[in-house]
Amino acid sequence: MPSPFPGMNPYLEQPSVWEDFHSRFMTYAGESLATQVRPNFLVKLSVATFDPALNQVKSILATIPDVEIERHAVIEIRDRLDRQLVTMIEVLSPSNKRYGPDREQYLLKRATMMFSSASIVEIDLLRGGPRLPINDLPACDYCVTVFRKAKAPKVEAWPIGLRDELPVIPVPLKGDFADAKLDLKALIDRVYDAAGYEDYLYESFPEPPFDQTDAIWAQAFITQ
C-alpha cells in the first residue's frame, strides 16, 4: 500500500529511516528520469561527500580526532555526446541543513554551480533544520527549488506545507529539449512499498515532533 499521507510522510524523517529512504528515493528518481531523457542524456548517481575535517587546520603534531564523513547520492544528468553536466538533482539531508561545516561545504558547492552552465533542482523534504537561504520564500515545511541558468538570478520555488500534496516538478534539460518531470508523491509511494515501512515506521514518533494540532491530524492517517 502507498504512504497514507497526501504529501510527504513526516515519519520518514526519523534518523533510523532517513538514510535508507534517501538512497532508495534517489535510485528510483534516477530510473524515472532515465526513461524520459534517453538517448540524448545520461542519468548518473554520484556520491557527494561531506567531511567536517576539511575545514579544520591542524598542526603537524596534532592528533586528528575521529570525524563522521557523510556520503549520499546526488543525481546528475549529462549530455550524452560531451558528458557535460546539464542538471544536478539534490535531495537535502540533515547535514546539509544543520549549521556547521557540512552546510558550509554544500552552500559553497551550490554557489559554484550557479556560475556554471548547469541547472540545479533542490528538494528539501525535511521539516527539521534551518531552511537554506533563498529570498522571498514564505514559511513552509518543505520546499523545492529549480534554478535555470536562463532565468538567473531568479529561482522557481514551491513552498509546501505538511498537509499539502506534493507537486510534480520540472527537471530542466538543455536547448530545445522539454523538461523531464519528477512526481514526488509517486516516488515516495514506491519507496514506501519497496521498503516495507508500514511494518515499523509508526512505532516511533516523528522528528521533529508535531504540535498538538498536527499530531491529531497525522494520527487520523496512520490509524486507518
> Mean pLDDT of successive 10-residue segments in the chain (224 residues)?
93 93 96 96 80 46 44 88 94 88 87 87 93 88 92 90 96 94 97 95 92 94 81
Burial class (CB in 10 A: 0-12, 13-18, 19+), 124: buried
**Backbone φ/ψ region at 129: left (φ over 0), alpha (ψ -120 to 50), beta:** left
pTM attached to this predicted model: 0.86
Q: Rounded to an integer, what distance in angstroms lies between the CA atom of residue 110 and that of residue 102?
A: 12
Predicted pLDDT of residue 136: 86
Q: Rounded to an integer, what distance in angstroms lies between the CA atom of residue 44 and that of residue 38?
A: 12
